[in-house]
Amino acid sequence: MKRPFISIVIANWDGEEWIDRTLSSLQLSARASNLSFEIIVVDDASSDGSVPLIESRFPDVALLRNKKNEGFGATTMRGARAARGSVLVLCNNDLVAKEPFIANLARWFKEPRVQLPGGELFDRASLFAVSARTMAWWDGKPNQLCMGALWQGGRITPSWEDPKQAQRCLFAQAGAAAYNRKHFLRLGGLRPYFSPGYWEDYDLAYHAAKQGMTTIYDPQAVALHVGGGSMTRRFGDEGVARMKARNHLLFEWTNLTDPAMLLRYAARLPISVAREWLSGKPPILSRALLGAIRRAPAVLAERSRRSPSRQTDKALLRRYGSGRPSF
């Protein structure tokens, strides 16, 4: 069987409310691209009616089923390994794609040389990912834009801009992005210690940037996104906040290598924890720190496996440090 050019992979957990719209929109968008494609849904042991809905409404979709709940990263990685296309498009199960979505993501992977609107030219071989523009389903407000990062208060803080034309960015959102599948797998994909979710896609994109690869933000690749529904139902607002804070720490522990920045980070983190306790606010960061410490051995193992960086933390944060902080 001929290999498709594009593999669309969706990790699904209890997405019955949205998966019909998601798959219908992605099928329409993929067909409109005139490119060969496959769609793979990996169901993460859903307890709702997701699986029978997919089986009855979308017989052409390849459906893989986890025996137990594995979390977003592991579920996505199962789909990525099963995919046959050279371009891997990862989508959340609550994403509704506009018709040009797939074509605009895929076009960057079709030519041997990539040229950005500003005139910058580079080889497609160095292209890692293309991140989409997503807007909130409920009110149309921007949800995921051109993501960079600031060095702020001794920590790496995501930031965003809203350019009208495609440009380089630092982070790709794995719920609405296309990847060079070979690079994605070679760099290890989404690391399991971020399970059940958040920050694993930022970790991968930052790792790729430190290896000298390029991520692009394309504002013409547009989709609507509900965002966080499954996670919030399972863990509640405070549980999701702790998970995000813990995985933010794991991201920094995995990726920071600059000695001066590490020293400042180590000095400022206890101060941030102390301020949280003194403020009387819920101890989100404190509990997140305890959770991160339990996963530290996996982080150390990952740091030892990674190839030496071709780009420094300072160079990346200078390059991608404009925009407004995202939190």
- pLDDT reported for residue 236: 85
- pLDDT tens figures, 180-208: 999 999 999 999 999 988 999 999 999 99
- pLDDT reported for residue 232: 72
pLDDT band at 326 (very low <50, low <70, confident <90, very high): confident
Which distant-in-sequence residues (6+ apart) come within 8 Å of 75 by Cβ? 11, 12, 13, 42, 44, 66
CA-CA distance, 316 to 15, in Å (whole number)?
36
Q: Which residue has the tokens 């930052």?
A: 206
Virtual CA dihedral for 68, 82, 11, 324, nearest 10 degrees? Answer: 130
- pLDDT tens figures, 283-323: 999 999 999 999 999 999 999 999 999 999 999 999 998 77
Mean pLDDT of the chain: 94
User: Contact 212/309 with Cβ under 8 angstroms?
Assistant: no
- pLDDT tens figures, 144-174: 899 999 999 899 999 999 999 999 999 999 9
CA-CA distance, 188 to 302, in Å (whole number)?
10
pLDDT band at 217 (very low <50, low <70, confident <90, very high): very high
138 pLDDT exceeds 90?
Answer: no
- pLDDT reported for residue 325: 76
What single string gives the DSSP state of each residue in 168-203?
A: EESB--TTEEEEEHHHHHHTT-S-GGGTTSSSHHHH
Least confident of 23-37, 117-131, 223-237: 223-237
3-state helix, strand, coil in the chain (%, to 5): 45, 25, 30
Mean pLDDT over 70-76 rounds to 93
CB hemisphere CA count around 151 (13 angstroms): 15
User: Contact 150/317 with Cβ under 8 angstroms?
Assistant: yes
CA-CA distance, 89 to 60, in Å (whole number)?
17
Q: With residue 48 as reference, give the H or E element that holds it.
A: none
Buried b (16+ CB within 10 A) or exposed e, 2-14: eebbbbbbbbbbb
The burial class, CB within 10 Å (0-12 / 13-18 / 19+), for 109 is buried
- pLDDT reported for residue 2: 87
Buried b (16+ CB within 10 A) or exposed e, 134-146: bbebeeeeebbbb
Mean pLDDT over 97-113 rounds to 96
Percentage of residues in the chain having pLDDT higher than 70? 98
* 3-state secondary structure (DSSP) of residue 145: coil
327 pLDDT exceeds 60?
Answer: no
> 97: which 2 tokens?
């794609």
Helices marked H in the chain: 19-32, 50-57, 72-82, 101-106, 181-186, 200-210, 229-255, 259-279, 284-294, 296-305, 313-319
Q: What is the largest CA-CA distance in the chain?
A: 63
pTM over 0.85: yes
- pLDDT reported for residue 213: 97
